[in-house]
Amino acid sequence: MTASLLKKHDVTSYHRKEIVALLGEPTGYYDYDTNPAYFVGPTTVESMYGKGYLLVFLTDKSNGDVDSVMFFPEVE
């Protein structure tokens, strides 16, 4: 599901507010409140952030634009 989301939407051209409008309120946290983050995938994967992979939209703190997208932990 996340692969189709990232294929369908050029999220690096989005603003933080557009990510939240598309996916709802963030279900996780990654370093700053300005980075929307969502738990996805199996709960058998764990990290310091919780159970599941964390899909993180890293944003520019000065303007809210999405700079990049990452998973934590990294998907193998």
Q: What pLDDT, on the 0 to 100 scale, is given for residue 76?
A: 79
Counted domains in the chain: 1
More confidently predicted of 41 and 1: 41
In this structure, what DSSP letter does residue 38 have? E
Q: What pLDDT, on the 0 to 100 scale, is given for residue 1?
A: 78
Does the structure show a pLDDT above 90 at 73? Answer: yes
In the chain, helix, strand, coil percent, each to 5? Answer: 25, 40, 35
Sequence-distant (≥ 6) Cβ neighbours of residue 38 within 8 angstroms: 23, 26, 27, 28, 54, 55
Domain limits for position 35: 2-72
| Pairing mode, strands 66-72 and 53-59 | antiparallel
15-64 pLDDT per residue, tens = 999 999 999 999 999 999 999 999 999 999 999 999 999 999 999 999 99
